[in-house]
Amino acid sequence: MNNSYKYILISAATVIAAIVLGNAYVKRSQAERQIAVTGLSEKNFTSDLIVWEGYFSKVRVDLKSASYELNKDKELIGEYLKKNGIEKKDIVFSAIEINEQVKRKYSPSGEYMGEDFTGYKLTQSIQITSRDIEKIEELSRNITELINDGVQFYSKAPRYYYTKLADLKLELVSEATEDARQRAEKIAEKSGSSIGKLVNAQMGIIQITGQNSNEDYSWGGTFNTSSREKTASITMKLVYRAR
């Protein structure tokens, strides 16, 4: 093989390699053309379940008398709830907690000298779960009636929940996905291209806040239980291949 023929072959091979590599680079570049967008969906909704809790206690030197009087308070609470139309199935009494009460002793100079037993404190909690939100709200506001009967009752603020949250979440995801897709189409249109295959989809954390509140979102998700009227929101991040 003469040298001129050898050079011709080398040149041809170089051209072919350049074409192959060039096409590979173009295809790779095209594959890397992507459009990333984030869609948002928000919905206002009203809680349909209320949970109200409270607890009552008695302190007596004798454990038996403390237990007897606590049970009397429990009966008064039960009668009060029944009178106000609360069904027995909606009421849960917890087990009784028993704690020994002590008083620390100090010498005239302030030196700690031990403890004296002062009695037993018995505490029992109650939880009411109901769909009749108005009734439980009114009940929680009028709890002073029990206090006037001598019951040492401590009421907590009601908590509000939504039993159809799973369905609501599906609606939010669907709407956020559609919102993201429309954003991607507009971006592609403005750049003279179109969206191709969906490369990746990532759902954000659902955030539930009180309506018209200044609650902040959190990375782990916000779940408001103090407001009856709430707002749920979620984001969807989509990555499309541009073509």
Q: pLDDT per residue over 13-40, tens digit each?
A: 444 544 444 443 444 445 568 999 999 9
Nearest-5° angle of CA 60, CA 64, CA 67?
75
191 band by pLDDT with thresholds 50, 70 and 90: confident
Q: Which helix (H) or strand (E) holds 53?
A: strand 49-60
> Given this model, what pLDDT does residue 76 score?
93
Closest CA to 184 of 242, 232, 136, 135: 242
Q: What percent of the chain has pLDDT over 70?
A: 87
Q: Could you tell me which of 158, 167, 160 has the C-alpha nearest to residue 206?
A: 167
Using 50, 70 and 90 to split pLDDT, how confident is the model at 2? low
Checking if the pLDDT of 215 tops 90, the result is no
Residue recorded with tokens 């040298």: 3
What single DSSP character describes residue 146?
H
Average pLDDT over residues 133-158: 90
The answer to whether the Cα torsion of 11, 17, 20, 24 is positive or negative is negative
Place of tokens 């750049």: 191
This prediction's pTM: 0.78
